[in-house]
Amino acid sequence: MRRKLLWVTAMAVAVSCSGAFRYKDQAFFDLPAWSCFRGDRQNTACLASGAALPNKLLWKYDLDRPLLSSPIVLGRILVIGSLTKRLHFFDALNGKHLGVHKIPSAVSSSACGQASVIYFGQDQGKETMTALDLRTGKVLWKKDLGDVTSSPVLCGNKVVVGSGSGILWALDRETGEAVWKFQTGASIISTPAFESSSPAYPDRGTVWFGSADGRLHALESDSGKAVWEFKAQAGIYSSPAVKNGKVFFGSVDGNLYALNQADGSLKWTFQTEGDIYSSPAAADSLVYTGSNDYCMYAVNQESGEVVWKFETDGLIHSSPIAVGDKLFFGSYDGNFYVLDRFTGKSLWKYQTEGMISSSPAYYDGKVYVASEDGRLYCFGPG
């Protein structure tokens, strides 16, 4: 507790007239956090630790324009991109707006980060992938990848991200130089999942991602060589989740798919009644996904049989996260929902003034979600 009080007291922020942002204190960057779009590199969006029911609005902040990006939390800093050509930084505990980093284009994807460095893409422009050191406020490198609406993931010493031109890029984390690239047949919105094959070689393993051409690809992370591919019946915008030897993802053909992680063979499909843009969360024996049929589903990972479904009043593009025994997500009906993830029972909901397509993030007992009403919300125990 004393250590926590020390770094909270010591936190200092500087924002220059040009919009540069930096933290002067380094200590808190090593704290556990929600440091990428789906919480971990396997995209499971799952934390085993329990959370008290977040049934109270703790704070909200109005950023004026609809928010499509999903927040991340690095240390104690919440980072979210906006359509107003800015990255915004908040104190994740009290909601204080700490500053901005100005950029040439809108941001609708999420950042990822480690230590004090974040990596983020921009929707369009000449330099659309950036590495930014939050401790110094310095841009470490920029890279022209074309339109980037996929969220990046860290694979050892590389950062991997998809582009609107259908290329999956692996960039050196230190320099931004391309290590390899893989061309698909259509744009990549899906955020890659990564799993290392050995603790001794953390940058070696497999990368999985989907493309709007309907193919789910598995690549060697060190070389970019294809391991296998699977063809769905329509485009894949969902980000795959890797859990228990399987790869789970949704498609706009309305199916939730489960593939064998090693060879891409089909284990099962579960048919919903609408397109799937939501990315699955995988926890214990269940996998969760939202659909354009307005429903959130819990499906058994082994059998592909539905365990429960929960109906909202709008499309569900928001990707759920599972924390302890609870499931969190948003809907186009404007509600933020909290469900018992084992039964699908509604525990609490909060009505915002816009559709929610952003996915939640979790940190220190609090859940964060952005709405297209332009506000960032933080919920916690009442």
Residue 214 amino acid letter: G
How far from the centroid of its chain's Cα atoms is residue 83's Cα? 17
Cβ proximity of 130 and 112 under 8 Å: no
Q: What H or E segment, with its residue span, contains residue 260?
A: strand 255-260
Kindly give, in sequence order, each residue whose CB lies less than 8 Å from that of residue 363, ignoring residues fewer than 6 positions away.
33, 34, 73, 78, 92
- Check residue 179 and report its DSSP letter: E
Q: What pLDDT digit, counting tens, does each position of 317-363 carry?
A: 999 999 999 999 999 999 999 999 999 999 999 999 999 999 999 99
The number of residues making up the chain comes to 382
For the chain, domains (ranges, CATH) are 2-380 (2.130.10.10)
Q: What pLDDT digit, counting tens, does each position of 40-68 carry?
A: 999 999 998 877 899 999 999 999 899 99
Question: Using CA atoms, how far apart are residues 285 and 300, in angstroms rounded to an integer?
Answer: 6
Cβ proximity of 171 and 150 under 8 Å: no
Of 79, 87, 119, the residue nearest 104 (C-alpha): 87
How far from the centroid of its chain's Cα atoms is residue 257's Cα? 19
Q: How sure is the predictor about 163, in pLDDT bands with cuts at 50, 70 and 90? A: very high
pTM over 0.85: yes
Question: Using CA atoms, how far apart are residues 135 and 117, in angstroms rounded to an integer?
Answer: 8
Kindly give, in sequence order, each residue whose CB lies less than 8 Å from that of residue 335, ignoring residues fewer than 6 positions away.
312, 313, 314, 349, 350, 351, 352, 356
Q: Is 50 exceeded by the pLDDT of residue 2?
A: no
